């Protein structure tokens, strides 16, 4: 910390502490027993403690729901936040006047109560009402701030696992903000203890009935002895205890014992299920159909997935992959169209099933483990939500944990897991209730190489053995090939590739598909030269030529795809106007698998790769920054029309798939 900060911090702490120290130094400690044993002091202390406890209970019962409501976004919430915090800024005497206007004998509500024989003003109940009025905002504002800074997505996860709103609140929302509630309660209690002005105005000062400790201190100031100091220091002591108590929840958290499973013990054999574990329901896998639009996102997708298929979804950033996951999970409604999951119409005109009713499980790159629960409770959660007896839920959860190699982590807190462990626990929690549909949204993206391959192996095992219909969003082509029985590529909210991973990679029809397959893809507008050969302008007076582009008309957008092996390299400059001979600059040279990949940069064009032998590289003596000439063999260039959706059927007929018209 910088020295000036320490200086200011010390001055500020001293300013708050020293007056109390000086006050303590003037207390006649020998009078302590006499003052404490006096009726007036004993009555005041006892009344203060009783009324503060009652006011705190009311604060908690009324304040926590209000804080939850204020932490959400809805129309008018801003105005209500201001109104709720207003009593914080009011002088206590004004608060007392307001309470008299409401609950006094001639007050708006008080006169109604009088009709039923209930008098509030100048009773102990008035003391409690005054304390609640001035302390409630402290609790609400503190809890609301804690709620607004809570981790995002956990409540949505709980809902998608089947929890109803009350369970989400009780099991997830409130446990996350326990320290905030404790802090708010302590501040409210401290405010109750110190309350003076509103109480005096609204409740008066009747010994044993409304004369609280602060009022007693005030009255004692009139007397010549130092009773006020003794009573004052008692108040300081009680307040100190209250404030210190707020530190307790954080310190008092249960520490998980080492032997409760610090060794995750997830060896390869740990993925085998024990014979005793039964499935929740022997559900058959179901097919999935999505046909719909989300207009704001320019998303218009139509896909059908067979029962038990694993659909790998790939595409650039912003292509619409997460939108698909949101539409399926129920966190986003279609503007038009249908989502059909087995026999459940999850989204259609006039019918929208919220996440908890869909039986869809989602595992994303943030595993969203409930940190305040044990690992076992996390995995049992979807079953408890479905009304399973606890013992059965725990037994089934333990079996799922064993299948993902995490059984020995069962007793650990959710917040004590590594990324790889959390991903496996999230998978166990998703599969434990035999979901209709499993959505994996980049489940390994946030993991290191080792954890990623471990989770990948478990995914392969679990998807094969469970046969759950799965949508896997991934940026990793190896993951898509390994897990996917089918692959689609999304581009600008449309399906531009659809087939088995092998088909898509063997004959891609989009630039993204080409890049996945390791092909070069150069986009442009088709020209037909005088000699009838299709070409695209690649800038600088150069062109790239294909042998044919049947079905694509001149002037149409087109992508030329070719393997890096189809590019011949020579050093020096282009001589004459050789077809498809393009001047380039060497950007990068890398070696893998006994071949050399040369990354080529062009003045106004997409870079592409050439692949040559090490001997050819030695002969050409090319290094980054050198000029070279790339010649692409026209017969090895495939012309693909751009911007059309495809189907597996179209891909089965290569000539048509090529043209996509």
Ligand X SMILES: Nc1ncnc2c1ncn2[C@@H]1O[C@H](COP(=O)(O)OP(=O)(O)OP(=O)(O)O)[C@@H](O)[C@H]1O
Interface contacts to ligand X, rule CB under 6 A: 296-297, 315, 317-323
Residue whose pair of structure tokens reads 């020293």 in the numeric block: 18
- Cα dihedral angle (46, 49, 52, 53), rounded to 10 degrees? -120
Min. distance of Cβ 299 from ligand X in angstroms?
A: 6
Q: Taking the complex as a whole, how short is the minimal distance between the CB of residue 288 and ligand X, in angstroms?
A: 18
Structure tokens at 539: 């800038």
Close Cβ partners of 211 (under 8 Å, ≥ 6 residues apart): 40, 43, 44, 47, 205, 219
Closer to ligand X by Cβ: residue 283 or 316: 316
In the bound state with ligand X, the residue whose beta carbon lies nearer, of 103 and 299, is 299
Q: Which residue is nearest to ligand X (CB)?
A: 322
Shortest CB 321 distance to ligand X, Å: 4
Q: 653: part of which helix (H) or strand (E)?
A: none
Q: Which is nearer to ligand X, 494 or 611 (CB)?
A: 494
Least Cβ distance, residue 351 to ligand X (angstroms) = 23
Nearest approach, Cβ of residue 439 and ligand X (Å): 12
Q: How far is the CB of 446 from ligand X (least distance, A)?
A: 13
| β-pair partners for 314 | 489
The CA-CA-CA angle for residues 104, 106, 107, to 5°, reads 55
Task: Indicate the DSSP class of residue 592.
Answer: E
Q: What tokens were used for 640?
A: 């693909």
Closer by beta carbon to ligand X, 276 or else 317: 317
Q: Mapping DSSP to helix (H, G, I), strand (E, B) and coil, where does residue 418 land?
A: coil
Using the minimum distance from each CB to ligand X, give the nearer residue, 228 or 442.
442
Nearer to ligand X, 202 or 299 (CB): 299
- Give 185 or 313: the residue with its C-beta nearer to ligand X: 313
**Contact (Cβ atoms closer than 8 angstroms) between residue 122 and residue 210:** yes
The angle, 0 to 180 degrees and rounded to 10, between the axes of the packed helices 178-194 and 124-148 is 150
Helices (H), 279-370: 321-329
Residue 614: phi, psi to the nearest 5?
Answer: -60, -35
Shortest gap between Cβ of 326 and ligand X (angstroms)? 7
Helix (H) or strand (E) holding 312: strand 310-315
| Among 174, 488, 158, CA closest to 331 | 158
Closest approach of ligand X to the CB of residue 152, in Å = 13
Q: Which of 475, 658, 457, 405 is nearest to 552 (CA)?
A: 658
C-alpha–C-alpha distance, residues 400 and 430, integer Å: 10
**CB closer to ligand X, 139 vs 319:** 319
Q: Which two tokens stand for residue 27?
A: 């207390």
Main-chain phi, psi angles of 498, to 5 degrees: -155, 115
Q: How far is the CB of 397 from ligand X (least distance, A)?
A: 31
Beta carbons of 202 and 132 less than 8 angstroms apart: no
3-state DSSP assignment of residue 250: helix
Closer residue to ligand X, CB minimum distance, 81 or 475: 475
Distance CA 328, CA 333 (A): 9
Smallest distance, ligand X to C-beta of residue 599, A: 24
Please, which residue, 50 or 297, has the CB nearer to ligand X?
297
- Give the residue with the Cβ less far from ligand X, 173 or 322: 322
Contact 337, 292 (CB under 8 A): yes
Q: Specify the DSSP class assigned to residue 461.
A: H
Shortest Å, Cβ 327 to ligand X: 9
* C-beta of residue 87 within 8 angstroms of C-beta of residue 192: no
């Amino acid at each position: 910390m910088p020295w000036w900060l320490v200086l200011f911090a010390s001055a500020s702490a001293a300013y708050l502490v020293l007056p109390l120290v000086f006050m303590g130094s003037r207390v006649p400690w020998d009078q302590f027993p006499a003052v404490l044993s006096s009726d007036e002091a004993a009555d005041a202390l006892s009344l203060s403690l009783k009324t503060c406890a009652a006011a705190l209970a009311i604060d908690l019962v009324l304040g926590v729901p209000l804080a939850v409501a204020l932490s959400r976004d809805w129309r008018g919430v801003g105005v209500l936040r201001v109104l709720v915090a207003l009593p914080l800024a009011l002088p206590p005497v004004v608060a007392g006047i307001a309470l008299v206007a409401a609950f006094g004998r001639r007050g708006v509500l008080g006169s109604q109560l009088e009709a039923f024989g209930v008098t509030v003003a100048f009773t102990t109940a008035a003391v409690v009402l005054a304390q609640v009025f001035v302390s409630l905002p402290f609790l609400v504002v503190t809890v609301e701030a804690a709620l607004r800074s809570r981790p995002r997505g956990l409540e949505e996860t709980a809902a998608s696992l089947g929890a109803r709103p009350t369970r989400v609140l009780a099991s997830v929302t409130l446990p996350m903000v326990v320290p905030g509630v404790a802090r708010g309660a302590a501040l409210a209690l401290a405010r109750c203890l110190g309350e003076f002005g509103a109480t005096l105005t609204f409740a008066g000062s009747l010994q044993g009935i409304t004369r609280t400790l602060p009022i007693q201190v005030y009255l004692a100031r009139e007397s010549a002895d130092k009773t006020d100091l003794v009573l004052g220091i008692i108040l300081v002591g009680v307040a100190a205890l209250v404030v210190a108590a707020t530190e307790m929840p954080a310190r008092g958290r249960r520490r998980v014992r080492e032997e409760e499973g610090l060794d995750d013990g997830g060896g390869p054999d740990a993925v085998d299920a024990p014979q005793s574990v039964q499935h929740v329901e022997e559900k058959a896998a179901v097919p999935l159909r999505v046909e719909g639009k989300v207009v704001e996102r320019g998303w218009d997708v139509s896909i059908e997935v067979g029962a038990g298929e694993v659909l790998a979804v790939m595409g650039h950033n912003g292509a619409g992959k997460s939108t698909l996951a949101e539409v399926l999970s129920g966190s986003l409604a279609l503007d038009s169209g249908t989502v059909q999951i087995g026999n459940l119409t999850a989204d259609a005109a006039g019918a929208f099933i919220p996440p908890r009713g869909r039986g869809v499980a989602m595992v994303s790159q943030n595993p969203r483990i409930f940190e305040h629960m044990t690992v076992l409770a996390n995995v049992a959660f979807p079953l408890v939500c479905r009304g399973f007896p606890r013992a059965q839920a725990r037994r089934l959860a333990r079996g799922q944990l064993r299948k993902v190699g995490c059984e020995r982590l069962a007793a650990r807190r959710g917040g004590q897991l590594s990324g790889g462990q959390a991903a496996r626990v999230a998978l166990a929690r998703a599969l434990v209730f035999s979901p209709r549909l499993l959505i994996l949204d980049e489940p390994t993206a946030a993991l290191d190489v080792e954890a990623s391959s471990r989770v990948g192996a478990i995914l392969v095992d679990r998807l094969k053995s469970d046969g759950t219909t799965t949508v896997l969003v991934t940026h990793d082509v190896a993951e898509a090939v390994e897990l996917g029985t089918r692959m689609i590529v999304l581009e600008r909210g449309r399906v531009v590739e659809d087939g088995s991973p092998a088909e898509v990679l063997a004959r891609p029809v989009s630039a993204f598909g080409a890049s996945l397959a390791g092909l070069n893809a150069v986009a442009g507008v088709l020209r037909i030269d005088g000699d009838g050969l299709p070409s695209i302008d690649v800038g600088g007076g150069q062109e790239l030529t294909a042998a044919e582009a049947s079905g694509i008309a001149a002037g149409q957008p087109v992508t030329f795809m070719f393997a890096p092996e189809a590019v011949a390299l020579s050093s020096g400059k282009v001589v004459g106007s050789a077809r498809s001979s393009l001047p380039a600059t060497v950007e990068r040279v890398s070696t893998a698998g006994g071949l050399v990949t040369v990354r080529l940069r062009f003045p106004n064009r997409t870079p592409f790769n050439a692949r040559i032998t090490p001997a050819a590289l030695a002969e050409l003596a090319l290094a980054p920054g050198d000029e070279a000439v790339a010649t692409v063999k026209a017969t090895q260039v495939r012309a693909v029309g751009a911007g059309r959706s495809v189907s597996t059927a179209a891909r089965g007929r290569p000539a048509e798939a090529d043209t996509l018209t």
